[in-house]
């Protein structure tokens, strides 16, 4: 029995977003942050360190390491970056390693679009047919919803920074998007779906998430087994095979690792998870919840159940890991697909609220960035520049004409987008997500053009390396740095060019110099030479030690 759907969409509501505008949206989101910066601290710099260790011959391909400390999880993400560094020797190594991951982010956007498109084409997802015609055509309706899913993904705050890093999680995100596409396209593209699943789950297993891959394989097989589509039911064995390949790839690449966090209490964990989910998945999560409510009679249909499974598995993984945002990242493509199915049922008052909130919030953010930029370049108003120099000692602004041009064009485009959206009533399904997606893209572009210099100065370890270089002799045999963060070790080894030992205590090291936490006692046989800190540190960050003769 086919129950009527809650989607009532006229033919004019199924307008597609102009392809040029869609491409510009994607370019404004993917390309900023790709150029003109160093790897940023923590995960981004650590992943680059493992890639450079392979490319420069400091560690074998099967065991990437930084300062003698081997990487956890599978080496596949580091192989990709290392290959890019070796294939593109004429480029800066950090930029070369970043290129394939920018392509991965672009593929995530494309796969999310096609996943939503194929799910919206199924019979159960179609809008109600009008008595005298005039309802949206099937393909036009699916295309409009796919545009909305893509805009919802771009608007999601959690993807903004993590999606522009060179980390294993981005490769896992690509694998999750490919898995979602494989299930979504199965009734229409059986051959492509098989290959998508056979690639997606082993890649996820080799990238450090084998248990998630095997869980997705089992749940996907159950969904396929109970499907009404014959070609989808035949996909069950391919999913089980992909799950086995994921387990084998994880075993071969030594990607199995225990990441379950110790239990800290349901109240504390619940508060942290809800807080993380609230901002990380905004604005997709309220739209996804609205979808589940409005389509509740149809929740067992594949256009709801397939993305719901792909959302719940990463959420469960994030909870088990103690509320980790990088595990929750994998839920975003499917969450964006669910959010898209809210658009045909969204009330006009809610859509207007989303629009006006986006206009005021993102316009205020853009104005804030421009004020700081004027202060850096013209000295007026004086207080923003004074604040930056207080927060980041030694920072001096610089001027880049191309950055100013791109930022000005982006701001003009935002004003034109606001005028288009608020000037007259729009009928397209995706209209409510244009301003949230445009505002996020604008904010990211302004931060990575006008504010890239202070942002890079604060987030990279290059200032720390330069301060250390001024304190160390020209010829240093090696630097011992046990107990330091992997990102610090990567900066010393691959930005400073020093040989670093971190896999043995200072008492066993033969290095002439050492680096330790600023408050730690000086061990026997060593003398404190200098103290050094990052520009944003409020206290002494590190103590530079010299071996006593």
Q: Which of 121-130, 331-340, 398-407, 436-445 has the lowest mean pLDDT?
A: 121-130
pTM of the complete model: 0.96
Residue 254 has pLDDT above 80, yes or no: no
Q: Quick one: which H or E segment has residue 160?
A: helix 158-162
Contact 421, 363 (CB under 8 A): no
Q: Cβ contacts of residue 97 below 8 Å, gap of 6+?
A: 48, 51, 52, 81, 82, 84, 85, 166
Domain boundary among 459, 492, 527: 459
Task: Determine, yes or no, domain membership for 541.
Answer: yes
Domain boundary among 312, 345, 378: 345
Q: Cβ contacts of residue 292 below 8 Å, gap of 6+?
A: 299, 304, 308, 338
Same domain flag for 400 and 488: no
Domain boundary among 430, 459, 488: 459
Same domain flag for 112 and 249: yes
Task: Determine, yes or no, domain membership for 302.
Answer: yes
Give the confidence band of 248 by pLDDT, cuts at 50, 70, 90.
very high
Same domain flag for 267 and 393: no
The number of domains in the chain is 3
Task: Determine, yes or no, domain membership for 60.
Answer: no
Residue 1 has pLDDT above 90, yes or no: no
Read off the pLDDT of residues 49-100 as tens digits, 9 standing for 90 and up.
999 999 999 999 999 999 999 998 889 999 999 999 999 999 999 999 999 9
Task: Determine, yes or no, domain membership for 56.
Answer: no
Beta bridge partners of residue 10, listed in sequence order: 135
Strands (E), 175-231: none
Burial of 512 (0-12, 13-18, 19+ CB in 10 A): middle
> What's the CA angle centered on 323, arms 317 and 325, to 5 degrees?
85
Q: Exposure string (b/e) for 453-470, b if CB count within 10 Å is 16 or more?
A: bbbbbbbbbbbbbebbee
Task: Evaluate the CA torsion angle 14, 125, 285, 262 in order and state its sign.
Answer: negative
Same domain flag for 444 and 328: no
Same domain flag for 379 and 503: no
Task: Determine, yes or no, domain membership for 62.
Answer: no
280: nearest Cα among 341, 330, 329 = 329
Task: Determine, yes or no, domain membership for 333.
Answer: yes
Residue 13 has a pLDDT of: 86
Residue 158 has pLDDT above 90, yes or no: yes
In which domain, by residue range, is 223 found? Answer: 11-32+72-345
Contact 273, 317 (CB under 8 A): no
Q: Which of 22-26, 268-272, 477-481, 529-533 has the lowest mean pLDDT?
A: 268-272
């Amino acid at each position: 029995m086919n129950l009527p759907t809650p989607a009532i969409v006229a033919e004019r509501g199924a307008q597609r977003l102009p392809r040029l505008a869609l491409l510009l949206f994607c370019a404004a989101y993917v390309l900023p942050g790709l150029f003109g910066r160093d790897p940023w601290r923590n995960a981004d710099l650590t992943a680059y360190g493992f890639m450079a260790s392979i490319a420069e011959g400091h560690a074998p391909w099967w065991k990437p390491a930084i300062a003698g400390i081997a990487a956890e999880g599978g080496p596949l993400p580091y192989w990709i970056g290392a290959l890019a560094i070796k294939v593109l020797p004429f480029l800066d190594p950090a930029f070369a390693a970043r290129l394939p991951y920018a392509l991965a982010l672009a593929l995530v956007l494309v796969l999310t679009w096609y996943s939503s498109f194929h799910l919206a084409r199924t019979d159960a997802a179609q809008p109600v047919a009008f008595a005298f015609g005039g309802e949206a055509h099937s393909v036009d309706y699916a295309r409009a919803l796919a545009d909305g899913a893509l805009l919802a993904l771009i608007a999601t705050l959690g993807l903004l920074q993590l999606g522009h890093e060179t980390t294993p999680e981005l490769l896992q995100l690509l694998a999750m998007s490919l898995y979602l596409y494989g299930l979504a396209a199965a009734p229409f593209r059986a051959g492509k779906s098989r290959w998508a699943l056979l690639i997606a789950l082993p890649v996820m297993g080799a990238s450090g998430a084998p248990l998630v891959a095997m869980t997705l394989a089992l749940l996907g097989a159950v969904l396929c087994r109970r499907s009404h589509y014959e070609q989808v039911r035949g996909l069950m064995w391919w999913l089980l095979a992909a799950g086995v390949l994921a387990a084998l790839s994880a075993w071969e690449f030594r990607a199995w690792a225990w990441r379950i966090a110790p239990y800290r209490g349901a109240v504390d964990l619940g508060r942290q998870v809800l807080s993380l989910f609230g901002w990380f998945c905004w604005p997709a999560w309220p739209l996804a919840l609205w979808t589940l409510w409005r389509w509740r009679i149809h929740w067992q249909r594949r256009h709801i159940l397939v993305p719901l499974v792909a959302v719940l598995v990463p959420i469960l993984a994030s909870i088990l890991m103690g509320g980790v945002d990088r595990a929750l990242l994998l839920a975003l493509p499917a969450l964006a697909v669910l959010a898209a199915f809210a658009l045909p049922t969204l009330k006009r008052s809610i859509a207007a609220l989303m629009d006006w909130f986006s206009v005021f919030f993102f316009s205020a953010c853009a104005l804030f960035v421009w004020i700081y930029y004027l202060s850096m370049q013209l000295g007026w108003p004086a207080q923003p520049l004074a604040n930056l120099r207080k927060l980041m000692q030694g920072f001096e602004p610089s001027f880049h004409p191309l950055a100013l041009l791109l930022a000005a064009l982006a701001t003009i485009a935002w004003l034109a987008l606001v005028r288009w959206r608020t000037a007259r009533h729009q009928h397209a399904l995706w209209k409510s997500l244009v301003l949230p997606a445009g505002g996020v893209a604008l904010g990211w572009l302004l931060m990575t053009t006008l504010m890239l210099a202070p942002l890079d100065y604060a987030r990279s370890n290059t200032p720390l390396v330069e301060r250390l270089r001024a304190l160390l002799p020209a010829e240093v045999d090696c630097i011992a740095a046990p107990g330091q963060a992997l990102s610090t070790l990567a900066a010393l080894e691959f930005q400073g060019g020093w040989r670093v030992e971190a896999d043995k205590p200072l008492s066993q090291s033969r290095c002439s110099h050492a680096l330790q936490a600023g408050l730690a006692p000086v061990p026997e046989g060593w003398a404190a030479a200098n103290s050094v800190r990052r520009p944003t540190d409020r206290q002494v960050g590190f103590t530079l030690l010299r071996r006593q003769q």
